[in-house]
Amino acid sequence: MLVTKGIWKNFGKLSALKDVNIEFKEKGIIAIIGPNGAGKTTLVNVITGALREDSGKINLDGKEINRLPPHARIRMGISRTFQIPRPFSNLTVLENIRIGSLFSGNSNKREIEEDTERIMKLLGIKSIEGKQAGKLNTEERRLVDLGRALASRPKYIFIDEMGAGLAEGEVISLSKLIKKIQIEEEMSLIYVGHVMKLVKELESPVAVFSEGSPIFQGSFEEVISNDEIIKLYLGDRYAKN
Ligand SMILES: Nc1ncnc2c1ncn2[C@@H]1O[C@H](COP(=O)(O)OP(=O)(O)O)[C@@H](O)[C@H]1O
Ligand SMILES: [Mg+2]
């Protein structure tokens, strides 16, 4: 179990995270949604160690991990993708994914090759394994970043805003891919975003963030019928009371 207790993160006068208490189970999908600026990416940054919180605790299976640098947290099984992926542009797709394996701390060459192959097949990028990452389109870059994150053998994987800017058909295939990844790789998958259609398709529990805190957790249906959340997304005039 991955747990945050009373996490605060301030940027000057702005509190990007305000007393965040949230639990992530060992298996399954959870979606974190919320308007732009709600603190979703900051939460991912703090949990993965890219940013230090101002106060609060992060526990993984009962161990406090607050002081560990990102690479140590990756070894313990906490991995992430980036909103703007930056693969090593002069390396190939295959080499970029293999790098993720090296971060896992696994030094068994055969297992690393197997992981790399399996992940490229799972993500449908085996056919471009030799392509230089610098020549990839946006969609391919996102998949390679996801592959890199999967290759470190995560127990918890945070996928940040992968659905932004996709057409409806692409949203459905991305949600299918996310479900397949969670089932085949058997980890806890935390999907962070604000594309409601994608969240609906995931059919997972949803946590809604607003102004730095989780304000609601429930099913997608519960979220879209909650008056406070309708106000948050659409403004007061759409709410029933
Ligand atoms: N490195 C930073 N420096 C200053 N302000 C930041 C920084 N990162 C995020 N913020 C601010 O913190 C708030 C939360 O941002 P973010 O976590 O990116 O939100 P979300 O991912 O939900 O859109 C926003 O007001 C944003 O402008
Ligand atoms: Mg964000």
pLDDT in tens, the chain (241 residues): 999 999 999 999 999 999 999 999 999 999 999 989 999 999 999 999 999 999 999 999 999 999 999 999 999 999 999 999 999 999 999 999 999 999 898 889 999 999 999 999 999 999 999 999 999 999 999 999 999 999 999 999 999 988 788 888 889 999 999 999 999 999 999 999 888 889 999 999 999 999 999 999 999 999 999 988 888 877 666 565 4
214 CB under 6 A from ligand 1? no
* Confidence at residue 168, expressed as pLDDT on a 0 to 100 scale: 87
Burial (0-12, 13-18, 19+ Cβ within 10 Å), 132: middle
Q: In Å, what is the CA distance from 93 to each residue of 81, 97, 107, 144?
A: 15, 6, 20, 6
Helices 109-123/93-103 angle, 10° precision: 130
16 CB under 6 A from ligand 1? yes
Residue 38 CB contacts under 8 Å (≥ 6 apart), including other chains: 209, 210, 211, 212
Neighbouring CB atoms inside 10 A of 177's CB total 16
* Confidence at residue 228, expressed as pLDDT on a 0 to 100 scale: 86
8 Å CB contact between 36 and 233: no
* Confidence at residue 54, expressed as pLDDT on a 0 to 100 scale: 98
Residue 175 CB contacts under 8 Å (≥ 6 apart), including other chains: 198, 201, 202
84 CB under 6 A from ligand 1? no
Residue with the smallest CA separation from ligand 1 atom 5 is 11
CA of 46 to the centre of ligand 2 (A): 13
* Confidence at residue 56, expressed as pLDDT on a 0 to 100 scale: 98
Residue with the smallest CA separation from ligand 1 atom 1 is 11
Best substitution site from 7, 11, 45 to test ligand 1's pocket, by max atoms within 8 Å of Cβ? 11
8 Å CB contact between 93 and 120: yes
Residue with the smallest CA separation from ligand 1 atom 11 is 16
* Confidence at residue 239, expressed as pLDDT on a 0 to 100 scale: 60
194 CB under 6 A from ligand 1? no
* Confidence at residue 130, expressed as pLDDT on a 0 to 100 scale: 98
Find the ligand nearest to 84 CA. 2
* Confidence at residue 212, expressed as pLDDT on a 0 to 100 scale: 97
210 CB under 6 A from ligand 1? no
Best substitution site from 7, 8, 42 to test ligand 1's pocket, by max atoms within 8 Å of Cβ? 42
Chain centroid to Cα 193, Å, comes to 9
* Confidence at residue 237, expressed as pLDDT on a 0 to 100 scale: 61
Q: 1-40+47-71+195-241 has which fold? A: Rossmann fold (3.40.50)
- The single residue listed with the structure tokens 């192959």 is 117
